[in-house]
Structures are given as structure tokens and as C-alpha cells.
Amino acid sequence: MLSSFNTKLLNYAELAVKVGVNIQKDQYLYISCSTDNLELARIITTIAYEQGAKQVFVDFADDVLTRTRYEKAPQNSFDFFPPWKIQEREWLAEQGAAFLSIMSQSPDLLKGIEHTRIAASQKASGEALRNYYNLLQADKFSWTVIAAPSPKWAAIVFPHLPKEEQVIALWEAIFDATRAKLENPVAAWAEHNQQLGSKAQYLTAKRYQTLHYTAPGTDLTVTLPEGHLWAGGGSANTQGHAFMPNMPTEEIFTAPLKTGVNGYVSSTKPLSYGGNIIDRFKLTFENGRIIDFEAEQGQDILAALIGTDEGSHYLGEVALVPHNSPISQSNLLFYNTLFDENASNHFAIGRAYAFCIEGGKTMSSEELLENGLNQSLTHVDFMIGSGQMNIDGITADGQVEPIFRDGNWAF
């Protein structure tokens, strides 16, 4: 294990460029980043140019400015999304650019903000970037999401530590979760990707018709669409270049049949959404649709999420993560979906990934819907796994086979 912070930070940046987006010669790179992480953005930019990037564009956000807007801007400004931002994303996507997002926002940045403002802003961005997200979820270009600490996020994860130690503690947790502490992290990721891929191939070959989830607060059946495909680890864009969409990643996932979810499921970790925390919530489904919900914290925010559009009343992703995964075993609650979803089985409300069905990458939104894959402006993961969860796979002829027992793989 490496001990030097600068070495681990350099490793992390190299992973983002070489494994995450896998930048190619003469390719554009678009980075979205917080002002809290200017240093990381500079290192990533340097490595990207050294790897042959044509030009790197960095789009900065600032938590203070974001909060100020939600507090001070007029209500009628929140249903507006800048058209030049749409043109920027779509033009870069058409040029085959790579997109790298660095997450660091405080989980409760917008706590106390009127939920109608948050809902209007989320819907406006979803509608404006609909085409961009359709291209993203069909793997038309390379993209990755990583994270880096901000002081306020670190304070929520490590409230017991002195203020001056919180950010470095979160950095160390991120380095652990992304294998950046290892001597050869690129090789480690290649091995990890192979292991995830073998699990995905096994489940795809099984062709389970239905999954049955049971755990305290959960009894849910999920029908899978005909021709569904399980994915995990890396993917490849339409040019055939490999990339790693999420770093870290520990999940194997597919899409449910839109109308095939029945029963109820309870969350096992808080969900940070729209700058707020939604916690201890339960969803009830009938023929795929959420027909009832309740949350001990963030009820209004959950209602706004589900009410985004018609598709946000349905699920778009089914993901399996063993309870003994490294992030889960760290016993840290990150209050950040990128990490917490990789410590727990989870579902996603909203849009399904096109590549989770045979031929899906070339299907239109209408064709995907006809084949049972949900379409929506949003895609929000929420965590439902625990060490008490069992999952059975049920074949078309009624055979029941264990997939998870006591939160871990049963095969």
C-alpha cells in the first residue's frame, strides 16, 4: 500500500483519465468539477493532455453560489436551463468527446430550500438534456463519474474528527474504495473488471424471468424483460473504446420490465438527492408503478422525485452488490450515491440503460419502451440491500434458484 498522499492523488487522477474515460488521441475532454477541487482538475487536465487529448474543457460549480441562487433567485427562473449549455453538451457528444464528472457537493446543500424550486430545476435540466442523456445511456460516448472531498461533505461523513482532519480522512476513504492506494491500480482495475464481467455473463446466461427479494421491510418481485442483459464494470462506446462509467463500482445490473415490479421495498441507507437527504423510506409497487410511498425524512423531496414525470413512477435499474463488498465492509456511510450504491443492492427510479437489452443501443426511446424498458427524465439510485437480504431467481419454467443469501452471492 502506498503512503504518500501526492502519489495516491496522482494514481487517482491517472485512473480517472486512463481507466475512467480512457482518453484517446485528439479527443475532447469535458470535466464538470467543484471549485473545492481545482487541484484535482489541474492534475487530470495535465494527464489528459499527456495522453493525447485535443482540448480539455472544465466547467466549475460552487456550492456557495448554488445555495445563493436557490435562496435569492426568483421562482420563475428555476424552470429555465441555458440553451448554450445544451448545445455545448450535444456538440461535444457528437464530436465523440469524453465526459468526466467529479462529485463533491455537500449532501444537504439545499436543506431548507422550498422543494418546488428544487423539483422545477431538476425537471428543467432533465428535459433540456434529454437527448444528451439518451446518448449517454446508450454508450454513444465515453463517460465516468468520480468523487473528491469538499469540507462540508467531509464533515458529514466524519463528524467525530477534528475539522482539520476531515477532508484528508475522506480522501483516504476514496483512495481505498477506488484502489488508488495500490502499487499498480490500473492493473488492479483490469482484474476487478474481469471479475464483475464474469458475474454479469453468468446471470445473463441464466435468463431468469423473475427476481424475488425478501428482507426486513422488503418483499418484492421483479420481472425481467425478454432479452435482458446484465452488465458490470466497464463498457465500450460506439467507437469500441473501453471506459469505466463509475469509479468505484462493485455492482452487476440490468433493467427490469417496466410493468413487472410488485410488492414493497424499504431503503437501508440515506439517499442524497437534490441537495437534501431522504431517509428511512418505503415504496410500494403494483404492475411496475409506485402506488404508495412514505419517508421519515425528506417526504416532500421524495414526492417531487417520483412526480418528475410519468416514467419516474417506475424503476429503470436492478443492481446487485454483495454485503461483503469493500465499501460495505468499511462501515462508512458516505451520503453519496456513487459510494453508497456500491455498498448495497439497489434500484433506480426512472430511465433504464439502453444497453441492458439485446439490440438496445440502436433502439429509439419508443422502441425501448415497447420492449419493456422504462423511459424518464431522471435516473436516481436508492439503496435497499443488507446482510439480511435474500434474492431468488425464478426461471420461465418455475425453477427457483438462490442468487443472494444473507446479503451475499449464493453462487
Summarised one tens digit per residue, pLDDT across range 234-243 is: 999 999 999 9
Q: Which residues make Cβ contacts (< 8 Å) with residue 308, sequence separation at least 6?
A: 119, 122, 123, 126, 350, 376, 377, 378
By percentage, how much of the chain surpasses pLDDT 70? 100
Across residues 366-385, what is the average pLDDT? 97
pLDDT at 179: 96
Provide mean pLDDT across the span 73-81. Answer: 96
pTM listed for this prediction: 0.92
Would you say residue 2 has pLDDT above 70?
no
Is the model's pLDDT at 137 over the cut of 90? no
Sheet with 346-350, strands from edge to edge, namely: 231-232, 252-254, 315-320, 346-350, 379-383
C-alpha cell at position 327: 465499501
Residue 4's alpha-carbon distances to 154, 158, 164, 270, in angstroms, are 20, 21, 18, 33
- Give the pLDDT of residue 132: 96
Q: Cell 428544487 belongs to which residue?
A: 118
pLDDT-based confidence at 1, cuts 50/70/90?
A: low
Q: What is the mean pLDDT of residues 381-406?
A: 97
Given a contact cutoff of 8 angstroms between Cβ atoms, the answer to whether 251 and 342 are in contact is yes
Task: Indicate the pLDDT class of residue 57, thresholds 50, 70 and 90.
Answer: very high
**pLDDT 10s digits, 211-234:** 999 999 999 999 999 999 999 999
Is residue 121 scored above 80 in pLDDT? yes
pLDDT at 3 over 80: no
Q: Would you state the pLDDT for residue 19?
A: 98
